[in-house]
Each structure stands twice: as C-alpha cells, then as structure tokens.
Amino acid sequence: MTAYVFRAMTAADLPTIERWLETPHVREWWGDPTEQYLLVSGDLDEPAMDQFIVSADGSDFAYIQCYDLTAWNSGFGEQPKGTRGIDQFIGVSGMIERGHGSALIRAFVDRVLAGGAPRVVTDPDPDNVRAVRAYEKAGFEKSGLVDTPDGTALLMVRNA
C-alpha cells in the first residue's frame, strides 16, 4: 500500500499548481487554468482553507484542499457544525487511473475525521464518473444533486 504524505502548500508550490491546472485531465473538470490558479493561489492566506501537496514515494503528484464549510457553504444545505469540504486533483497524468485518487482521499479524510470533524463533503460534477467512483471507493455516499455557483454538482458525504 502506498504511503501518502500531505504537506502544507506554500507559495513555492504555485508554479507546480499552475502547471498541473494546465494539464488536459485537470482542465477538463476544474475549468479555466488561469481562473483556477487565481482562486487557489488567493486561498493561501485564507484561514478557513487548508491546502496540501500530496506526494508518494518522495514525488509530488496531487493537490487537495480542505475547507471549513461555514465559509463556503454553496448550496450544500444544513450540515453538522465542523463539517469540512474537500476538492482535489491528481496533477501528474501518469498517476491517474491507478487507484491513487481513492486511496489518497481515504487517507486524507480518515485524518480529518479522526481530528474531530463529524462529516466531510465534496461536490464533483455528476458527469465526472472517475471522480465519483474514487469518492465512493474512499467511503463517500451520494447525497443528491445540489446547485452551486459552478453549476449542478453531486453532493457526496462521508460521516465520522
């Protein structure tokens, strides 16, 4: 089993994030790389957002963000106090479709729940079959469609 390391993202990681956002497999679901880069880089100083670079075997390959849902409750409905939201992508194309998505999500969410969060939610595009499958394998359950500022999303939930 691969051991994943989640280290806090810093400004030094921004060129890597920018490069990853431009890859076709990330751009397909995250959208315009310039817009997303401005959002991700702008969140470095946001107290309600924790951002991490994920590595395996000493190599960085993914990004994950974890946020206080009260700051970004975009149509998710009532959630227990302390619920966290996550978004992630694998930036290195050679690491996709190898089970890393579900495994890193499970490892990360296990830590978040063990740290006291009652629930973790995420909202992939319902057409992103690969992401939905990865979240299901990581223990998330489909909760239903929700309207977000980015359009219709599939709310997925994992409880402590």
Cα distance between residue 143 and residue 122, in whole Å: 10
- Report residue 77's pLDDT band, with 50, 70 and 90 as the boundaries: confident
Q: What's the pTM?
A: 0.93
- pLDDT value at position 101? 92
- pLDDT value at position 71? 60
Query: Does position 70 have pLDDT exceeding 70, yes or no?
Result: no
Cα distance between residue 121 and residue 69, in whole Å: 9
- pLDDT value at position 74? 62
List, for residues 106-155, the tens digit of each pLDDT value: 999 999 999 999 999 999 999 999 999 999 999 999 999 998 877 899 99
- pLDDT value at position 150? 78
List, for residues 14-29, the tens digit of each pLDDT value: 999 999 999 999 999 9
Paired strand residues for 145:
154
Paired strand residues for 144:
155
Query: Does position 103 have pLDDT exceeding 70, yes or no?
Result: yes
Cα distance between residue 82 and residue 87, in whole Å: 17
Query: Does position 99 have pLDDT exceeding 70, yes or no?
Result: yes
Domains in the chain and their CATH numbers?
Answer: 4-120 (3.40.630.30)
Q: For a pLDDT cut of 70, what percent of the chain falls above it?
A: 96
- Report residue 97's pLDDT band, with 50, 70 and 90 as the boundaries: confident
Paired strand residues for 50:
66
What average pLDDT does the chain have?
Answer: 93
Q: What letter represents residue 130's amino acid?
A: R
